[in-house]
Structure formats: C-alpha cells, structure tokens
Amino acid sequence: DAGVIQSPRHEVTEMGQEVTLRCKPISGHDYLFWYRQTMMQGLELLVYFNNKAVMDDSGMPKDRFSAKMPNASFSTLKIQPSEPRDSAVYFCASRWANTEAFFGQGTRLTVV
C-alpha cells in the first residue's frame, strides 16, 4: 500500500479564496483524521470520521471549514473563505480500529 496520500503538497492562495485539501486513506482503514499543525498550537484535531461518518468535528471552525468523506477511499477538507491565520500544515491520518494512526505527508497551506 502506498500509505496515506494527500494532495496538493503545497498550496499558496489569496485571502478569501476557497481551498480544498484531499486525502486518500490506507485501504481497509475505518478511521480518518484531519489535523492542523502550527508552531504555536502543535497538532490540533479538526475532525475525524469512522466508516465515513463524522464522529467529532468540535475542533473545526464551522463557519469556514467543512469536511466530507463521500466514500471509504476519499476525504476532503474545504476552507471558504480562507484567511491568513489558516496558514499551517494540514495532515490527514488513517487507522484501522484502535491501532496506530498513519499520517500522510501533509499539505502546507499559505494564505497571503
């Protein structure tokens, strides 16, 4: 398996634009997590899914962020409108049951 695959690897956008981050989890994994990492806050959990259903999105700013998992092999995290404070590295991770989580390579987002 190729591991967790995220795209794009880097994204630079202007404030106010819509940004969509994509993630393909490891096949067979039933949990998918979206994290945001900054120097100040570390790894923050934004949202996680179990079998495509949202289990907890309490860490996600609801007014501008949305996350979807339309099928078991694909998830998106959308930011609209984007703001400079959204600049961070966004990681997607997946796991099976209560085992270890595997992380993708991350998307470095810069909002100017």
Could you say which of 21, 25, 31, 69 contacts other proteins (CB under 8 A)?
A: 31
Distance CA 15, CA 83 (A): 5
Minimum Å gap between C-beta 60 and other proteins is 12
**Which residues in the chain belong to E strands, given as ranges?**
5-7, 10-13, 19-24, 31-38, 42-50, 53-56, 65-71, 74-79, 88-95, 102-103, 107-111
Q: How far is the CB of 10 from other proteins (least distance, A)?
A: 12
- Binds other proteins (CB under 8 A): choice among 12, 43, 54, 112: 43
- The binding site for other proteins (CB under 8 A) comprises 31, 33, 35, 41-43, 45, 48, 50, 55-56, 91, 98, 100-106
